[in-house]
Structure 1
Amino acid sequence: MPFDAQISAAAADRIEPNPRPIAVWLLAVAGMVWVMVAIGGATRLTGSGLSIMEWAPLSGTLPPLSEAEWRRLYDLYRSIPQYALVNAGFGIEGFKEIFWLEWIHRFWGRLIGLAYAVPLAWFWLRGRIPAGLKPRLVLLLLLGGLQGAVGWFMVASGFEADRTAVSPYRLVMHLGLALVLFAALLWTGLSVLRPVPAPAVPGQRTVRRQAQAAAWLIVAAMLAGGFVAGTKAGFDYNTFPLMAGRLVPEGYWRLDPAWTNLTVNIAAVQFNHRLLATLATLAALGAAFAGWRRLPAGPARRACLGLGFAVCLQYALGVATLVHVVPVWLGTLHQACAVLVLAAALAALHALRYSTCGKSSPRESRRGA
């Protein structure tokens, strides 16, 4: 049975008739994950992510409380390649600056865990969670814990010999899981608010297929952006739309084996991100135009138009970030806006859900079959 249908079927049996508190809680946690992605972007751009060399889920909650502890952590940092190759001579005051950003990043992750686990236990013990929703909520809790472990797995890669940053593969894994967690929280919250889709209207199925194509391209562009971040490809080819005077940069397939060009070849990685972002923008604008032309005024139409606006904003931020050679504030804003685009795509898809019991034109009925 589809997840939304499970929520709908369980709705009649729940003790608490108002699902709004659960939906607000889930959407609030999704918002916290959004902030977490933005903080993670700032941490990466400032090179702060390797400043804490210990994974201490409980004791690490508190920052250093004595000068001796600051000195111990500073001495640990001085033992890794990033210090020797990038920040040689970095004093303890400079270390404190990058330490605090990474500490905030980890502390915010702990807050997300509390903001999810405590209300979950409260709703569960009070019997306010529909039975069909419980497995999904437990899975989200496990995903949150896994994200913390993957985060440390990523950071640990930066301590290896001759590395001054984390592995781009592990960074994309960490980013991808964060996006999965955000998407699941947002979709679940929206489904609790609106468990039953409206009957389809003529043209709705077509618009939804266009929105789905845009959503998949958006996800692909975001993951490609993770490899841009992991390889620092944004600091090269800082012109637009051409790359060193060419549409397709020279040396696109210079690495062997060929597949590594897609992940570590700076020219190919940046070109792929540009291409996918452009295709995603065109697809989202197509979905927005189709929604404006085919759908009646209402939430679905507004969601499609919102998707078009969010993608255009993100594309403009991406170009600005590139041509200004990735300033920290602009790079962080670009990463945060990527989550806005994902949220807009999910909101559009959710609003475009349709009931098979509704009326539609004969052509639409055949297409939806």
Structure 2
Amino acid sequence: MATKRSIFEDVGTNEKPKETPKGGLIEKGRGGARKGIRAWLIVIFALVMAMIAVGGLTRLTDSGLSITEWKPVMGALPPMTAADWQVAFEKYQQTPEYRLQNEGMTLSEFKPLFLWEWGHRNLGRVIGLVWFLGYVRFAVAKKIPTGWHKRLIFIGALGGLQGAIGWWMVSSGLTGDRLDVASYRLAIHLGLAFIILGFIAWYVFLLGRTEPELMQARRAKDAKLFGMSTGMLHFAFLQILLGALVAGIDAGRGYTDWPLMGGQVLPPDPFYIEPLWRNFFENPALVQFLHRMAGYLLFIYGIVTWLKGRKSANRATASAFTLMAAVLFLQVILGITTLVHGAPLALGLAHQVGAVALFVAISRARFLSQYPQPQSVRSV
């Protein structure tokens, strides 16, 4: 017969308490592997951004064709002796740029050009090394979250492809009668750099929250805003490609009056090159005109997107679109200022860095459209 138990007696005191399941490192909020990988990607992002800036300086200083060989490993060291410098200079003297533009240049004048391009290439090597060491470290420690191996390898693969495209671009200016690299190859090279930046930024945003938080946030996705910001991102990317074409043929220095070009809306002789399609890549007047028109349209579309985004019920999302609009406005002002001053080195570089800031601002607004930040009812 069962004995009576006091109502004050603890129940189940002899049973072992069940252990609370412990999540892995990838589920510890912002800590663990997600935090470490996020920090690593931020470092790579900063390096790629610096690479774009150095690449812009290399182009603006006409240094890109100073190294006539592609040696991914042995090229990490600059010429070490006077004889080595002389050999590098003699190879440069065989290029069209030297024969048609820089004939008579001295070795002392050549060295700064060489070192700019050497620094640009070495920074690329540093980026590759940082990616490789970081990936191996996290992979060996088994701290890469589920589903992230392919994403991180994808970033490394894009970086390797970028190196090959860089040489493909440089090689276009080493033969024939070109004074510079092919502008469309320069556009592809810069475009891929922004694609890499875009993916890294998106991954950084994703790693800022746990997977459960992202799944919860996606339920509140603003599909309309996400679509508009996606269009904004693609439009900005097109404008960046047009900007690369402008830089590739020095089209920004041909017409420095604004808002007209040579006193008229459409510049003189916009289609003088045959066949017709070459004008869209090699005619400085037409390329600058297209860059201007695309800038106006991007600004208008950006304002429309901002007017929609600022009405978002989520305050963080609305603020992100306001920031995007502010960066867009500053970039337009900077672009006009760069133009009317004939694209000097400092302004040209600032305009290129401004494009990076705008691209990231749009990406952030787009991310928060898909994954709104949680907010209390009082903050609405």
> Please, which of 338, 342, 354 is the counterpart of residue 355 of structure 2?
338
How many Å separate the matches in 1 of 2:332 and 2:299? 7
Q: Is this contact kept in 2: 1:156–1:166, CA < 8 A?
A: yes
Counting aligned pairs with the same residue, the percent is 36
Question: Any residues of structure 2 matched to 1:184-223 within 5 Å, and which?
Answer: 184-194=199-209, 195=211, 196=214, 198=217, 204-223=222-241
> Please, which of 314, 319, 332 is the counterpart of residue 315 of structure 1?
332
Gaps of 5+ in 1: 1-11, 356-369
How many Å separate the matches in 1 of 2:169 and 2:76? 19
Report the AA paired with residue 368 of structure 2. Answer: A
How many Å separate the matches in 2 of 1:95 and 1:276? 37
> Please, which of 280, 296, 303 is the counterpart of residue 314 of structure 2?
296
How many Å separate the matches in 2 of 1:43 and 1:164? 15
- Give the C-alpha shift of residue 74 in structure 1: 1.0
Q: Is this contact kept in 2: 1:215–1:280, CA < 8 A?
A: no
Question: How well do the aligned residues superpose, as a CA RMSD in angstroms?
Answer: 1.8
Aligned twin of 1:350: 367
Does 1:324 find its partner at 2:341? yes
- Give the C-alpha shift of residue 146 in structure 1: 0.9
TM-score (norm 1): 0.88
How many Å separate the matches in 2 of 1:125 and 1:199? 32
Aligned twin of 1:107: 122
Does 1:24 find its partner at 2:71? no
Q: Deviations over 1:19-59 (max 9, x none)?
A: 11111211221121111111101100110011111211111
| Bigger radius of gyration among the two | 2
Q: Is this contact kept in 2: 1:211–1:283, CA < 8 A?
A: no
Q: Is this contact kept in 2: 1:214–1:283, CA < 8 A?
A: yes
Aligned twin of 2:173: 158
- Give the C-alpha shift of residue 156 in structure 1: 1.0
**Corresponding residue SS for 1:263:** helix
Does 1:279 find its partner at 2:312? no
- Give the C-alpha shift of residue 16 in structure 1: 7.1
- Give the C-alpha shift of residue 212 in structure 1: 2.3
TM-score (norm 2): 0.85
Does 1:265 find its partner at 2:297? no
Q: Is this contact kept in 1: 2:165–2:189, CA < 8 A?
A: yes
Aligned twin of 2:50: 35
Q: 1:243 to 1:130 in 2, by over 3 A?
A: same
Q: 1:16 to 1:290 in 2, by over 3 A?
A: closer
- Give the C-alpha shift of residue 208 in structure 1: 2.8
Give the total of aligned pairs: 342
How many Å separate the matches in 1 of 2:205 and 2:265? 41
Aligned twin of 2:86: 71
How many Å separate the matches in 2 of 1:126 and 1:16? 16
Q: Is this contact kept in 2: 1:217–1:277, CA < 8 A?
A: no
Q: 1:122 to 1:267 in 2, by over 3 A?
A: same
How many Å separate the matches in 2 of 1:174 and 1:213? 22
How many Å separate the matches in 2 of 1:156 and 1:178? 19
- Give the C-alpha shift of residue 177 in structure 1: 1.1
